[in-house]
Amino acid sequence: FLIPVDTKIVTDYASIIKNPMDFGTMQKKIDTKQYTKISEFQHDFELVIQNAKTYNAPETIYYRSADKISKFGSRLIEREITTIKNVEEKRRLYFQEIRRASKANSNTSATTTPNNIPEKNSAVTNDAQNAPSNMSTPNKFGNVNKYIIYINN
């Protein structure tokens, strides 16, 4: 689970498992920001589990461990997906309100420069800077990353 299977030792592994994956490789992909969507991370997680269950017989510790890891990890991933969706919805609503306020402001109280060009309201020119601190983009894999560290230990 933690490192790639050594095909020099497990000589038939490559003939059975066509897309190997392990948690160490997943950690490297996190560290190098290769995951851009949690669905990509989830796919690799499920691939680790599926590979272990495909290669190993159901009565082995590896197969049973894959089942346990799958249940635990799937709950963590679902929790992260919910967190991301909640944060993204809050950001969407926040910026929707900014746009609405900006539009209302420009329709009612825009100031003009000497050339009669409307000036931007400084409160809405830098939306991202003015966003509440809890609205920042979350580390999408934060808790799942902790899970991988937990598994590695």
CATH code of the domain containing 45: 1.20.920.10
Count of structural domains within the chain: 1
Higher-pLDDT residue of 109 and 2 is 2
pLDDT of residue 129: 43
* Residue 71 covered by a domain: yes
How much is the pLDDT for 140?
Answer: 52
116 in a domain, yes or no? no
| Confidence label for 126 from pLDDT (cuts 50, 70 and 90) | very low
In a domain, 26, yes or no: yes
Q: Over 60: is that where the pLDDT of 51 sits?
A: yes
Token pair 């030792």 is found at 9
Give yes or no for residue 53 having a pLDDT over 60.
Answer: yes
Q: Mean pLDDT throughout 88-117?
A: 73
Task: Check pLDDT > 70 for residue 37.
Answer: yes
Is residue 70 a part of any domain in this protein? yes
Range of the domain at 53: 13-106+132-152
Mean pLDDT, the chain, integer: 79
Is there a domain that residue 78 lies in?
yes
Task: Give the per-residue SS3 of 52-107.
Answer: HHHHCCCCCHHHHHHHHHHHHHHHHHHHHHHHHHHHHHHHHHHHHHHHHHHHHHHH
17, part of any domain? yes
The whole-number pLDDT of residue 118 equals 46
pLDDT in tens, 8-26: 999 999 999 999 999 999 9
